[in-house]
Structure 1
């Protein structure tokens, strides 16, 4: 099943000119990773502090777009400019999970939204990313299978944030979308486990 993650290579091509300038300026991959994390925490705090305000929610798509760009650039800097490190790998995996929680858990405080649906999606997101990393532990590749991976979650929450922030949809509609998303979130965990195990059986990590 196609996901937003499949567009990553095209997005990276667009970012490459900016990336070269960053490398020449001495900016490191780990610095970019930490910047993406800081941006996510600040934006999530804004939603948590003002859950009834429309502006922090409406700005979420912009925040997620910038975060996506930074996430793409930190990996490209590491791979293409000889900056790969064990610390970078740890920061990358932890940063993604913490950023997701920082941005999406505050939705549980938005008036009218179901805390159970929000927390459920966040838990499945953490389990899904853990399953992606477990693939490496058992001798497979790092799994990014969907249908609700990191980029797809960003589209879901970014769209709901924008629509709620502008008053285009009601919390009741958003709750239905969040509840429906629980199924592909659970399926993502299953797909990553299944495909990781298939790789191990076929002996092709």
Structure 2
């Protein structure tokens, strides 16, 4: 049930050269987070202005791939450059949500506002579940059947076909992911063993 999140270590390794270059150039993590929001907005612009089909899907895929790269790089650059901070964690979370909202906003061109709003709301639930667990001392729970990466893939499918069913799957899958994370958190917080208090996929 961890989905594409299991590929994160592999993906982070592929971005190692870019991450080191950014650290060497003194690029701030917040700047990378802002770039991620910009790429999310670029995906939304493609969804808004381009008719569904392969060119739109390619444009959305490229923009969202860059957005995911920024989401991976900002934390890595913060750690390697010694700029890691608690407020940086807040900025990172806000950046993720804004980037996703910006991409989903483009779906309003052809999908009903109610469906887009429902998908946007549901997409936040996995992160809220993870943050609630972290606040309770259980560590940050990640993964799930429809996490951030899977939601990007579903948006590419929407850009290719224009079918609203992709957004419905995104909404229901996000809800299921939140339930899965909450179940993991419940098991973790009920177990007094210290080595089980932090849940990682």
Tell me the TM-score normalised to structure 2 length.
0.85
Q: 1:168 is matched with which residue?
A: none
Q: CA deviation at 1:36?
A: 1.0
Contact 1:60–1:158 (8 Å) recurs in 2: yes
Q: CA deviation at 1:46?
A: 5.1
Contact 1:51–1:107 (8 Å) recurs in 2: no
Q: 1:77 is matched with which residue?
A: 77
Which range is displaced more, 53-62 or 121-130? 53-62
- 2:39 matched to 1:39? yes
Q: CA deviation at 1:51?
A: 6.1
Contact 2:3–2:150 (8 Å) recurs in 1: yes
Q: 1:118 is matched with which residue?
A: 116
Task: Tell me the alpha carbon deviations over residues 69-117 of structure 1, each in whole angstroms, 9 at most, x when there is no partner.
Answer: 111111111223322112211111011011111101320222xx34433
Q: 2:66 is matched with which residue?
A: 66
- 2:185 matched to 1:187? no
1-side partners of 2:167 and 2:25: how far apart?
42
Q: 1:100 is matched with which residue?
A: 100
Cα RMSD between the aligned structures? 2.1
* Shift in alpha-carbon separation, 1:87–1:45, aligned structure 2, 3 A: farther
1-side partners of 2:186 and 2:71: how far apart?
27
2-side partners of 1:2 and 1:12: how far apart?
17
Q: Which runs of 5+ in 2 are unaligned?
A: none
Tell me the TM-score normalised to structure 1 length.
0.84
* Shift in alpha-carbon separation, 1:27–1:16, aligned structure 2, 3 A: same
Contact 1:108–1:119 (8 Å) recurs in 2: no
Q: Which runs of 5+ in 1 are unaligned?
A: 165-170
Task: Tell me the alpha carbon deviations over residues 33-88 of structure 1, each in whole angstroms, 9 at most, x when there is no partner.
Answer: 1111122234424544x365766554110000111111111111122332211221
Task: Tell me the alpha carbon deviations over residues 111-137 of structure 1, each in whole angstroms, 9 at most, x when there is no partner.
Answer: xx3443332221111122111111111
Q: CA deviation at 1:179?
A: 2.6
Contact 2:5–2:147 (8 Å) recurs in 1: yes
